[in-house]
Structure 1
Amino acid sequence: MAYRSRDCRKFGLLLALACVDAPYPALAGPPFLTDDPEPTDTGHWEIYAPMIEAEGRGAQFEGTSGVELNYGAARDLQLTASLPLAYARDTRGWRAGAGDIKLSAKYRFFHDGRAGLQVAVFPGLTVPTATNAMGAGRVTALLPVWVQKDAGRWSIFGGGGYAINPGPGNRNYWTGGIAVTRRVSNPLLLGAEADRQGADTNGGGGSTSLGLGAIWQLKRPFRLLASGGPTFDDRGGAVRFHIFLALGLDI
Structure 2
Amino acid sequence: MLILMVGLSGSKLWAQGPPFQVDDPVPVDFKHYEFYIFGATDGTPAETDYTGPAFEFNWGAVPRVQLHAVLPWGGINPANKAVYAPAGAGPSAKGLIDMELGAKIAYIKESKYIPQIGTFTMFEMPTGNADKGLGVGHIWYKLPLWLQKNEGKWLFDGGAGETVVPQTGFHDYPYGGFLLKREMNKKLDLAVEVFSHGSEGPIVPQAQASTMLDAGGYWHLKGEEAMQLLFAYGHSIAGRTENYAYLGLYWTWGKDDKKTDDKDKGSDEKKTSLLKNAMFSGHSLKNGF
Shorter-chain TM-score range? 0.7 to 0.9
Judged with a 3 Å threshold, the aligned counterparts in structure 2 of structure 1 residues 202 and 233 are, in CA distance, closer, same or farther, namely farther
Q: Aligned residue for 2:41?
A: 54
> Who is 2:134 aligned against?
134
Mapping for residues 12-27 of structure 1, pairs under 5 Å: none
Report whether the alignment pairs 1:76 with 2:81: no
Greater mean alpha carbon deviation, residues 126-135 or residues 154-163: 126-135
AA aligned opposite 2:233: G
Give the letter aligned to residue 43 of structure 1: K
Give CA-to-partner distance per residue, 1:79-134, whole Å, 9 cap, x none. Answer: 10010002122346642011111011000010034447201011111010113431
1:231 aligns with 2:229: no
Paired residues of 1:118 and 1:147 also in contact (CA < 8 A) = yes
Partner of 2:127, secondary structure, is coil
Deviation at 1:57, TM superposition (A): 4.1
Task: Quickly say closer, same or farther: Cα 1:34–1:162, change in 2 above 3 A.
Answer: same
Using the size of structure 1 for normalisation, the TM-score is: 0.83
Q: Amino acid of the residue matched to residue 149 of structure 2?
A: K
> 2:227 matched to 1:222?
yes
Match of 2:265 in 1: none
User: Which residue number corresponds to residue 186 of structure 1?
Assistant: 186
- If asked which structure has higher relative contact order (CA below 8 Å, sep 6+), I would say 1
Structure 2 unaligned regions, length at least 5: 1-7, 81-89, 254-289
RMSD between aligned alpha carbons? 2.3
Q: How does 1:6-45 map to 2 (within 5 A)?
A: 6-7=13-14, 29-45=17-33
Q: Which amino acid aligns with 2:96?
A: A
Which is higher, the Rg of structure 1 or of structure 2?
2
User: Which residue number corresponds to residue 208 of structure 1?
Assistant: 211
Aligned AA (2:122): G
CA contact (8 A) 2:60 2:67 kept: yes
Residue matched to 1:19: none
CA distance in 2, matches of 1:129, 1:107: 25
In structure 1, how many angstroms separate the alpha carbons of the residues matched to 2:143 and 2:40?
Answer: 21
Q: Is 1:244–2:246 an aligned residue pair?
A: yes
The one-letter code matched in structure 1 to 2:136 is A
The answer on whether the counterparts of 1:3 and 1:125 sit within 8 Å (CA) in structure 2 is no
How many residues are matched? 228
2:74 alignment partner AA: A
Structure number with higher helix proportion: 2
Task: Provide the residue aligned with 2:166 in structure 1.
Answer: 166
Structure 1 counterpart of 2:235, one-letter code:
P
Once residues 9 and 48 of structure 2 are traced to their aligned partners in structure 1, the CA distance between those partners, rounded to angstroms, is 16
1:143 CA drift (Å): 0.6
Question: Aligned partners of 2:107, 2:71: CA distance in 1, in Å?
Answer: 27
